[in-house]
Amino acid sequence: MANLFETWALDREIVLVKLLKHPRDKVFAAWMDPKALAEWYGPTGLSIETHEADIREGGVWRFDMVGLFEGREQRFPNLMRFLEIVPNERIVIDYGTPEPNDPDRFRTTVTFDEQSDGKTVLTMRQLHPSRERRRVVIGFGAVEYGLQTLDGLAAWLDG
């Protein structure tokens, strides 16, 4: 059986783009520093609690997104496995839960394109395992949460 992520299919894809007013080496560095990632990553209102951070090809970042919902703390376990890192150009990640056989795991490719004015276009492409799974994640707000994450990156870079 072919790997689900060997071919790119538009009907399984979500693409988020953000223009950042910083050079791409600075934007890329924000992804490579575990302390920085924990400060800016994730939707508005959630904090990051890192359990393991080995940000290199073959490494993982295991963390919980933590927030209050209806007065109770909720935790959302996450695991990113870094498949490819090309400095200042591209990061390829398998993203899901820490479960070894997570059926909803998806592939994310982040690219960093520097503009002639020193700004960077960051593009985050998610490839989900099925059309249906893509519909589900869009339905629970993944696009808005992804845009909030990129806004958090912009604010962190500006700070």
The verdict on pTM exceeding 0.75 is yes
Query: What is the C-alpha separation between 65 and 74, in angstroms, rounded?
Result: 8
Q: Give the confidence band of 75 by pLDDT, cuts at 50, 70, 90.
A: very high
Between the alpha carbon of residue 62 and those of residues 22, 98, 113, 133, the distances in Å are 27, 7, 27, 22
Is the Cβ–Cβ distance between 42 and 152 less than 8 Å? yes
Stretch (H or E) spanning 38: helix 34-40
Instruction: Report domain 11-158's class.
Output: alpha beta
Predicted confidence (pLDDT) per residue in 92-102, tens digit: 999 999 999 99
Q: What is the residue extent of each domain of the chain?
A: 11-158
**Mean pLDDT computed over 109-132:** 97
Predicted confidence (pLDDT) per residue in 100-111, tens digit: 999 999 999 999
Predicted confidence (pLDDT) per residue in 13-53, tens digit: 999 999 999 999 999 999 999 999 999 999 999 999 999 99
pLDDT at 9 over 80: no
Question: What confidence score (pLDDT) does residue 10 get?
Answer: 82
